[in-house]
Amino acid sequence: MKLKQLKRKHKFLTIALIAVAIVLVTLLSYYAVNGFSANDLFFNEHESVKLMVSKPSEGQSFYDGDSITVSGSMWGGIPNKVYVWDERYNVPIPCPVVASNFGVELYANDLSQGTHVLCFQGQATDGRWTPVQRISIEKVGSTQQSWIYMGGQKTFVETYFPQPLAIIFRPVEQILVQTVVLITGGTSEDDLNGDNIPDELQQSPVSPRHNPMNVPMSALIVYGLIIFVIIILILAIIKPYLEHRQKLEATPGYRQHQFKMRSLLNQKLRGELSKERARRKLLEKKMSEENKKVKKPINIYFSEPKPKNENPIRKME
Inside any domain, residue 256: no
Strands 133-139 and 61-62: parallel
Diameter of the chain by CA atoms? 160
pTM to 2 decimal places: 0.59
Q: Residue 106 and residue 306: Cα distance in Å, rounded?
A: 123
pLDDT of residue 186: 41
Inside any domain, residue 98: yes
Q: CB neighbours of 132 closer than 8 A, spacing ≥ 6? A: 45, 119, 120, 121, 207
Is 167's pLDDT higher than 80?
no
Q: Residue 111 and residue 102: Cα distance in Å, rounded?
A: 22
| Angle between helix 252-293 and helix 217-249 axes, rounded to 10 deg | 80
Is 102's pLDDT higher than 90?
yes
Q: Residue 15 and residue 21: Cα distance in Å, rounded?
A: 10
Domain around 110? 37-215
pLDDT tens readout for residues 135-155: 999 998 754 444 344 444 566
- Measured CA to CA in angstroms, residue 293 lies from 74, 280, 284, 288, 297 at distances of 97, 21, 15, 9, 12
Q: Which of 41-45, 191-195, 285-289, 302-306 has the lowest mean pLDDT?
A: 302-306
Name the nearest CA neighbour of 151 among 114, 190, 124.
Answer: 114
Q: Are 120 and 97 in contact (CB under 8 A)?
A: no
pLDDT of residue 79: 93
Is 53's pLDDT higher than 90?
yes
Inside any domain, residue 270: no
More reliable by pLDDT, 245 or 33: 33
Overall domain count for the chain? 1
pLDDT tens readout for residues 3-29: 567 667 777 888 888 889 988 988 888
Under the banding of pLDDT at 50, 70 and 90, the label for residue 69 is: very high
Inside any domain, residue 62: yes
> Where do the DSSP E strands lie in the chain?
50-55, 61-62, 67-75, 79-86, 93-94, 97-98, 101-107, 114-124, 133-139
Q: Residue 48 and residue 68: Cα distance in Å, rounded?
A: 28
Q: CB neighbours of 72 closer than 8 A, spacing ≥ 6? A: 51, 52, 53, 54, 55, 82, 101, 102, 103, 120
Name the nearest CA neighbour of 121 among 204, 212, 27.
Answer: 212
Most trustworthy range by pLDDT among 44-53, 156-165, 178-187, 266-275: 44-53
Is 95's pLDDT higher than 90?
yes
pLDDT tens readout for residues 187-217: 456 788 888 888 888 888 888 999 888 888 7
pLDDT tens readout for residues 227-256: 888 888 887 888 787 777 777 777 877 777
10 Å Cβ neighbour count for 137?
Answer: 20
Inside any domain, residue 297: no
Instruction: Point out which residues pair with 135 in neighbouring strands.
Output: 118
Under the banding of pLDDT at 50, 70 and 90, the label for residue 317 is: very low
- Measured CA to CA in angstroms, residue 263 lies from 248, 269, 273 at distances of 20, 10, 15
Inside any domain, residue 228: no
Strands 79-86 and 61-62: unpaired
CATH number reported for the structural domain that contains residue 55 in this entry? 2.60.40.10
Task: Calculate the CA dihedral of residues 164, 167, 170, 172 and round it to 10 degrees.
Answer: -90
